[in-house]
A and B are shown apart, each in its own frame.
Chain A
Amino acid sequence: MTLGALARQDFPILRRMVNGHALVYLDSAASSQKPASVIDAIRRYYEWSHANVHRSIHTLGEEATELYEASRDAVRAFVGARAREEIVFTRGTTEGVNLVAQALGRTLAAGDEILVTEMEHHSNLIPWQMLCRDRGTVLKAVPIVEGAYLDMTAFDRLLSSRTRIVAVTHVSNVLGTINPLAEIARKAHAVGATLVVDGAQAAPHVPVDLPATGADFYVFSGHKMLGPTGIGVLFGRKEALERLEPAWGGGEMIKEVWIDHAQWNDLPWRFEPGTPPIAEAVGLFAAVEYLGKLGMDRVHAHEQALTARCLDALARIPGVTVYGPRNAELKGAVVAFNVDGLHPHDGAALLDQQGIAVRAGHHCAQPLMKRLGIAGTLRASFSVYNTEDEVERLAEAVARLGDGL
């Protein structure tokens, strides 16, 4: 049995019928489904161990704290971080980028430059735009070439001693392009810039060895990697985190407080003010364990095979345009495409009638859409529970889409 056929038995929602058809869920890049082990872990936590963490001197509080911190250790191991201090829990990728932007922003002066790319999700663009508006820093963007890849010649030209932050996605949520992080890190560090990476589309799909990426900060979300919504991870190299002032204040992020000042807590709690998403961390723990058992190498190989099959099947359909690299080895588990004469929303609505869930629209990457000269695309994305049969069902349905309107 293939990985997909085996794994999908663990996902209760995949037994659902949608509009009279067995659900084909191809929207995992937006949010993945959850295995029973994740759902059970959250339920068990609320039914048996819930209390606030860190300050409660009673059995439930201790159990909750233990689970919360064990989740941090599991995430640390999952991404290969050296120390648990490097793993900060957030509410998601977006919050992680905002946290870093606000904290790093305090160290910037007018005229300092921030280098982003044209393929960023809005979550790794708007926080930097806001920072530029507030601090007078200058935003520059690396263009794409061949409709798929970062223009590294332009990158070299745009990068300078004025560049203080390079913010780039690891894997594009539209094109699927896997960006050359090691090269980007080397060049960014050579001019003294800090590298911030959006890993939302990478962490769920490829084995991530964070120290090897060279990122100073790397953010991702739990809900795209089989975990619950409302939790994400900010990895920061210890030296980079230590230099950073907290972005937000509140309980738990302090050691001692006087009426007019305070001493910050140790890492990582310095960046986790307020009651954290405890149940969500417990769920993420279960998700990371689940992925770990499958093995990220196998997950990656499985999803790459589905991506290759999808690219191949769509290429055979007249009138279909595929965006991003055509070679599955150069991309993550997403395939963005359009059908001639059919608006993506109409396409997605027609597919939904057959129980097939895909994303349609600009995918929160409007500058990329403008560069590609389109309003939006359809996007199929894959996870551990998808099968080749589902890719075939998609292709058959796409081939008939022209008849639908």
Chain B
Amino acid sequence: MTLYSDLIRERFRHPRYRGALAQPDCTFEDVNPLCGDRIRIECRLADGKIADARFAGDSCAIAAASADVLIEMMIGQPAERAHELQAANLLERLEADIRPSRMKCLTLPLSVLQGALDGKEVAR
């Protein structure tokens, strides 16, 4: 049974950026309305750049792997860069082709990161 790209499976099984930061400068979390998955991303900022970040949450392999490579791509980058990233960038990084029904799983971490950087409030 091979369903996802090797990279999705690898980053889901062995994430590099799953966890929490001691003193994050910004945090946001949101749900995927499709499945109820919740992803939380915390960032530490320095000189307008993302100095460090971590993600947490109960999610499918696609969302977890996407969050993991997203953070990897963004560390050391100017915060604005998060608003330039597209789903295609994440797909390329994951060497994956994803069915339309699962695209929200891929893009949830991106919108959560953008929400964190924009100082969005978490809905309760």
Contact = CB atoms under 8 A, between A and B. Distances in A.
Interface of A: 343-346, 349-350, 353-354, 360-362, 366, 369, 374-376, 400, 403-405
A374 B1 CA distance: 26
Contacts of B35: 344-345, 360-362, 375-376
B16 interface: no
18 contacts: A343-B58, A343-B59, A344-B35, A345-B35, A345-B60, A345-B62, A346-B3, A346-B60, A346-B61, A346-B62, A353-B3, A360-B35, A361-B36, A362-B35, A366-B36, A375-B59, A376-B36, A404-B3
Contact of A405 (B12, B36, B38, B58): B12
Q: Which 4 A-B pairs have the closest CB atoms?
A: A362-B36, A343-B60, A361-B35, A345-B60
Contacts of B105: 345
A404 B4 CA distance: 9
A335 to B, nearest CB: 19
Interface string B43-59: 00000000000000011
Contacts of B102: 345, 349
B13 interface: yes
Contacts of B22: none
Interface string B17-52: 000000000000000001111100000000000000
A405 B9 contact: yes
Contacts of A344: 35, 60
Contacts of B37: 343, 345, 375-376
Interface residues of B, number: 18
Contacts, number: 53
Given A343-B60, A350-B1, A353-B1, A375 B36 contact: yes
Given A353-B1, A353-B3, A343 B61 contact: yes
Contacts of A369: 36
Nearest to B38: A375
Nearest to B34: A361
A19 B13 CA distance: 26
Nearest to A403: B1
A395 B5 CA distance: 25
Given A350-B3, A366-B36, A405 B59 contact: no
B39 to A, nearest CB: 10
Contact of B4 (A360, A362, A376, A405): A405
A170 B45 CA distance: 52
A115 B12 CA distance: 42
Most B CB contacts (10 A, CB to CB) among A343, A354, A376, A404 go to A343
A113 to B, nearest CB: 23
Contacts of A362: 35-36
Contacts of B1: 350, 353-354, 400, 403-404
Contacts of A374: 58
A403 B2 CA distance: 10
A349 B3 contact: yes
Contacts of B9: 405
A399 to B, nearest CB: 12
Interface in B96-112: 102, 105
Nearest to A344: B35
A309 to B, nearest CB: 24
